[in-house]
């Protein structure tokens, strides 16, 4: 059993909640904006465990297999956000986040706290759900944008930047997730995750300069105690993107990790070329539930 605590940005202190909630699946919500079914979801998202392993590409090696998502105003793409981070020294960076509750956006830990990028905590992060190109009009920002200085991460990341716990949180004041929806999140055993077909979608710097959403898919090739390794294409700016599965053809998306690393973050002793994500393990899921509770909780709780 790992004891994890939440660490919040000092300018916005939160009460640390005891990690007593049992491991479980959180319920997702498709949002109220529209019930139209995304054609991209039907034709691009991979589901279940069947099918051959696709060609092993990473941070992009060889032919780029990523596909741009154009209907970002529909679920689940609208639950995924382009992030614009700003550090205390004015330096900017881009990343990806995704809703796990009405006011709670999950991302990589290094998007909220990084000694390399920000010399500590980011000063402010702009969250843009379903961004679909440059500019600030309704086509590019179908759900507008909101900025927040209220940030949290795990103690294992803030204290030592442990890559197994590279997970962070952005707390919003308005329940934008009610409109765009949020992902279900699951802490699944390693044996259950192995060989699943996995989806990743986010906002890379090399295509669209962080203003266009790109989706990639492939199999999970290795699951360690705290990480998931996969051969789906990613690039800088997609840090913080959801790593999700569909357990069956008709199952809703279930997020199981937070994308954070390319091939450089994969331990050499594994002998694989892969991107990776910190896993949502039970202790992490408890922290996520605590963050959502800080922000007012899920409806009907």
Percent helix / strand / coil, the chain, rounded to 5: 15, 30, 55
| Tally of CB atoms within 10 A around 149 | 15
Classify residue 235 by burial, with Cβ atoms within 10 Å: 0-12, 13-18, 19+: buried
CB 287 within 8 Å of CB 187: no
β-bridge pairing 227-230 and 275-278: antiparallel
Nearest by Cα to 36 from 71, 70, 82, 80: 71
Decide if 110 is catalytic.
yes
Catalytic, out of 110, 171, 215, 246: 110
Q: How far apart are CA 99 and CA 80, in angstroms?
A: 7
The one-character DSSP state at 281 is -
| Positive or negative: CA dihedral 92, 98, 104, 106 | negative
Q: How far apart are CA 193 and CA 1, in angstroms?
A: 20
Decide if 195 is catalytic.
no
**Inter-CA distances, 76 with 62, 73, 297, Å:** 28, 9, 20
Catalytic, out of 239, 246, 259, 276: 239
Q: Which residues are catalytic?
A: 110, 239
């Amino acid at each position: 059993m790992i004891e994890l605590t939440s660490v919040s940005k000092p300018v916005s202190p939160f009460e640390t909640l005891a990690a007593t909630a049992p491991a479980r699946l959180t319920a997702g919500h498709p949002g109220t904006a529209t019930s139209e079914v995304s054609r991209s979801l039907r034709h691009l998202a991979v589901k279940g465990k069947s099918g051959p392993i696709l060609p092993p590409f990473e941070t992009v090696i060889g032919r780029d297999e990523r596909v741009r998502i154009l209907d970002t105003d529909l679920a689940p793409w609208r639950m995924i956000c382009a992030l614009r981070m700003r550090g205390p020294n004015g330096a900017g960076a881009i990343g990806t986040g995704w809703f796990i509750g009405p006011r709670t956006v999950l991302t990589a830990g290094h998007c909220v706290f990084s000694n390399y990028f920000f010399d500590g905590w980011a000063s402010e992060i702009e969250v843009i759900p379903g961004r679909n190109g440059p500019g600030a009009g309704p086509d590019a920002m179908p759900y507008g944008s909101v900025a927040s200085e209220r940030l949290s991460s795990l103690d294992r990341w803030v204290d030592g930047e442990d890559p197994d716990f590279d997970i962070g949180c952005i707390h919003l004041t308005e329940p934008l997730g009610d409109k765009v929806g949020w992902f279900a999140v699951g802490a699944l055993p390693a044996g259950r995750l192995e060989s699943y077909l996995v989806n990743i979608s986010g906002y890379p710097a090399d295509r669209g300069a962080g203003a266009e959403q790109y989706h990639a898919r492939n199999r999970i090739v290795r699951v360690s105690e705290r990480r998931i390794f996969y051969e789906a294409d990613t690039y800088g700016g997609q840090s913080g993107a959801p790593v999700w599965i569909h357990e069956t053809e008709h199952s809703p998306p279930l997020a199981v990790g937070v994308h954070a690393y390319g091939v450089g973050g994969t331990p050499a002793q594994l002998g694989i070329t892969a991107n990776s994500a910190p896993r949502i393990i039970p202790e992490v899921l408890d922290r996520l539930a605590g963050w959502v509770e800080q922000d007012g909780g899920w409806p009907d709780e």
